[in-house]
Structure 1
Amino acid sequence: MRSWSGIKKQDALVFDAELFEQLQILVAQGESQYLEFKRKVSEGGEKIVRELIAFANSSGGTLLIGVGDDKTIPGVKYPEDESLAVQQALEKVQPALNIEETWIAIGNNRTVLQYVVHVSDNRPHFIADDQGAREYFIRSADKSIRASREMREIIKRRLKKRDIRFHYGEHEHFLMQYLANNKTITLSEFVGLSGLKKFYASNKLILLVSANVLRIIPSERGDQFTLAFTKS
């Protein structure tokens, strides 16, 4: 059994008006936390797989190949080639992803490939490059971004579903006071203001997010942390 087994495809590719209408309704929603459009597969399918990893590591989602960012639906001419490129790239993902693939005929010998990804119980997933370096991705709004060390550790701890205990010391008190007067703080800001070494500051933030005291807001420019509950 290959690592991408579980992919489902229509047995016979024929135009289905109802399925096409469902596709149009979905595309009309635009890209979001749970929906991504790609015009075609490129770079051996690895960019596509990064999106699928991000969905699996976050809250799940749907990726459509053959749909433009402007919500047009040109489809792809050779769905077999597109699908094969994705399948081959999926073989590099660890742990293996469970993806549902559907081919949707749109007429004029064109097809849209739909990939549905459910949030994974085996997250965080990653893809390794030729040197073995791991890349993790998560979904943030309508973008798939690299997951920080803090985000990866938070994902792992959430899956364990254990009660989290932490020591409320001077640094935790300082952090609560700071966030009571400032909306967010970054890891580098916390390090600079607290005097803690980066490793210890990082672990405190991870622990407080895991205990639902803080909330993490992933960003390409660096995660931000805010109070999980604020007074209205």
Structure 2
Amino acid sequence: MQLSHLLFFIIAVPDCEYGSDGTFLFADSGMVEMPSVEDVANIAVISAKTFELLVQDDPYVAMLSYSTKGSAHSKLTEATIASTKLAQELAPDIPIDGELQVDAAIVPKVAASKAPGSPVAGKANVFIFPDLNAGNIAYKIAQRLAKPKLMALLLRDLPSQLMTCPEAAATKTLSVLLQLHAFRPRHRTNNLKRFYIYKHFRKLFIDFHI
């Protein structure tokens, strides 16, 4: 089945030492129920380029799993490993690594123990989930427990030839569906990035007449 739509979840968590000053992108969070190995690889590349475009920071992409670097073995972990290898081939210039558990992906001390030498572990800001179950559950947990200052759902129509031109999706946002929660920062410190995201999303509305 052709991957035609993708739902990103972008969250900005106040006073968070992880990610990009507390900013993360989750994918896929609401569209692709049972993605293939190729789907997950494409989701990873498109998500990385979207993160870079909107957040204006370097993406570090974690291919998430219940296993880190072979700590468990199953068909599920093998699929994540295969998706990781394909994503790395599609975008060799982007730091993409897996399979990684969430703690290894974002906590430097855990990363040093579980995934030494990983270019992503300990500093991931883009989370790629193996299926919709994982992605949607994680998004809902973050929404309710992380007390974010900004949350956004971004629905994107994707170009038809993803495997040959994945970078096209980074500038081909044809359809945007946003849920921007009230964002009124109480302090100026560390809020510039979240302001940028908010303003950029508003610009997308104007540019694409949504």
* TM-score (norm. length: structure 2): 0.31
Instruction: Determine which structure has the larger strand proportion and give its number.
Output: 1
Larger radius of gyration: 1
Instruction: For CA contacts below 8 A with separation 6 or more, give which structure has more relative contact order.
Output: 2
* TM-score (norm. length: structure 1): 0.28
